[in-house]
């Protein structure tokens, strides 16, 4: 046996004992959390599902916010704004989330278990499980890249995402967030309760399916002569194909030189629940909450070319293409793209 093989065998044995020790430490912590988590789950489910339905807000936006809470506590993205927001948000329970995940959070923070939950994969190695986190970080990176270059930022379908607050505070930029009326009203109400400053952002209630978001944006003070970043994160999946096309054409028409449109696309197979059992279950829950997945791009052959063609038909030229899971031998399912006016 070579030196290398011996070393490998020893580190394998050591790794096994470390994991075993971590599990032994984790089990009593989890046992303490069991009674609390029974109460916590009940409260969380009532708030997330019952209240969201009653208040007529976007459940998919609640789930996206929930993921940002997890990233904060699992050390993958500090996000004190989302934490303050959730503590005052009627459709999520900070206590409920802690009660369910507290044992894992404590174990991860104190002795590195379970390492997987606090880990981010390398670019191109994303799978269905790791997409939500890398998606958030990729949009952060893109926002950071353009925030100093543009004069205006528009987030159509901002949901409960606080990315704009985080990156544009004190930057003397015009920022517009659009979403459906109940979702936006609750966002503003919650930020007020949490004492989160947001006075430099203009919130525009709109339903893309029934009204012109462009008219509303122009009326709210959007300047067609200025360089703009459009950040369209995780919205097209829930819109009819025609609405996605029209919205992108509208964005292209609002772009002057130097403007950028950033958005993500899921594959058609994903949108139809054929990508994986987990994604099918997730989409099934979102659908039951009133937001069926409606749009995806056929990525079965050449995903990059399909996305490029779709954008070109909307008057856009693709300038960046990030395909999740590209380095793995898996079916293409998700991409984030940057584009500019053709």
Would you tell me which residues interact with ligand SAM (CB under 6 A)? Answer: 58, 60-61, 64, 157-159, 161, 179-180, 183, 206-209, 233-235, 238-239
- Taking each helix axis from N to C end, the angle separating 94-111 and 80-87, rounded to the nearest 10 degrees, works out to 150
Instruction: From residue 30, give the alpha-carbon distance in Å to each of 72, 107, 270.
Output: 20, 9, 34
Minimum CB separation of residue 54 from ligand SAM in Å reads 16
Residue number, nearest CB to ligand SAM: 159
The angle that helices 94-111 and 59-73 make with each other, rounded to 10 degrees, is 30
For β-strands 260-266 and 334-341, DSSP reports them as: antiparallel
Rounded to a whole number of angstroms, the minimum distance from the CB of residue 59 to ligand SAM is 9
How far apart are the C-alpha atoms of 262 and 61, rounded to whole Å? 18
Nearest distance, CB of residue 243 and ligand SAM, angstroms: 7
Greatest CA separation for the chain = 75
What is the DSSP code (8-state) at residue 48?
Answer: I
Q: In whole angstroms, how close is the CB of 107 to ligand SAM at the nearest point?
A: 28
Minimum Å gap between C-beta 157 and ligand SAM is: 4
Distance CA 2, CA 158 (A): 56
Residue 291 vs 308, nearer CB to ligand SAM: 291
Cβ proximity to ligand SAM: between 272 and 308 the closer is 272
Choice between 158 and 196, CB closer to ligand SAM: 158
> Based on CB atoms, which residue is closest to ligand SAM, 44 or 283?
283
61/297 with CB nearer ligand SAM: 61
**Beta strands in the chain, from DSSP E residues, in sequence order:** 152-156, 174-179, 201-205, 228-232, 260-266, 316-323, 334-341
Cβ 139 to ligand SAM, closest distance in Å?
7
The smaller minimum CB distance to ligand SAM, of residues 255 and 262, is found at 262
């Amino acid at each position: 046996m070579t030196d290398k093989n011996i070393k490998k065998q020893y580190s394998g044995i050591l790794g096994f004992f470390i994991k075993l020790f971590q599990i032994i430490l984790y089990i009593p912590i989890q046992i303490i959390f069991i009674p609390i988590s029974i109460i916590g789950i009940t409260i969380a489910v009532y708030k997330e599902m019952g209240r969201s339905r009653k208040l007529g807000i976007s459940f998919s936006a609640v789930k996206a916010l929930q993921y940002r809470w997890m990233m904060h506590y699992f050390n993958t993205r500090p996000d004190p704004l989302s934490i303050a927001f959730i503590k005052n948000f009627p459709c999520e329970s900070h206590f409920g989330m802690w009660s369910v995940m507290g044992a894992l959070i404590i174990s991860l923070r104190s002795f590195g278990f379970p390492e997987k939950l606090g880990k981010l994969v390398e670019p191109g190695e994303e799978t269905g499980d790791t997409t939500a986190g890398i998606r958030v970080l990729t949009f952060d990176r893109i926002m950071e890249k353009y925030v100093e270059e543009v004069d205006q930022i528009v987030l159509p379908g901002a949901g409960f995402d606080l990315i704009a607050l985080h990156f544009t505070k004190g930057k003397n930029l015009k920022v517009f967030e659009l979403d459906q009326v109940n979702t936006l009203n609750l966002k503003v109400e919650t930020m007020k309760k949490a004492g989160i400053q947001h006075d430099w952002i203009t919130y525009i209630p709109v339903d893309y399916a029934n009204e012109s978001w462009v008219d509303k944006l122009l009326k709210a003070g959007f300047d067609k002569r200025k360089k703009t970043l459009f950040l369209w994160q995780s919205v097209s999946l829930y819109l009819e194909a025609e609405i996605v096309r029209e919205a992108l054409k509208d964005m292209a028409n609002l772009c002057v030189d130097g403007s950028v449109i950033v958005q993500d696309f899921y594959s058609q197979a994903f949108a139809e629940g054929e990508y994986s059992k987990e994604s099918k279950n997730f989409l099934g829950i979102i659908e039951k909450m009133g937001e069926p997945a409606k749009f995806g791009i056929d990525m079965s052959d050449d995903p990059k070319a399909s996305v490029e063609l779709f954008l070109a038909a909307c008057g856009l030229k693709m300038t960046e293409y990030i395909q999740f899971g590209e380095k793995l031998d898996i079916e293409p399912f998700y991409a984030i793209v940057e584009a500019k006016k053709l």
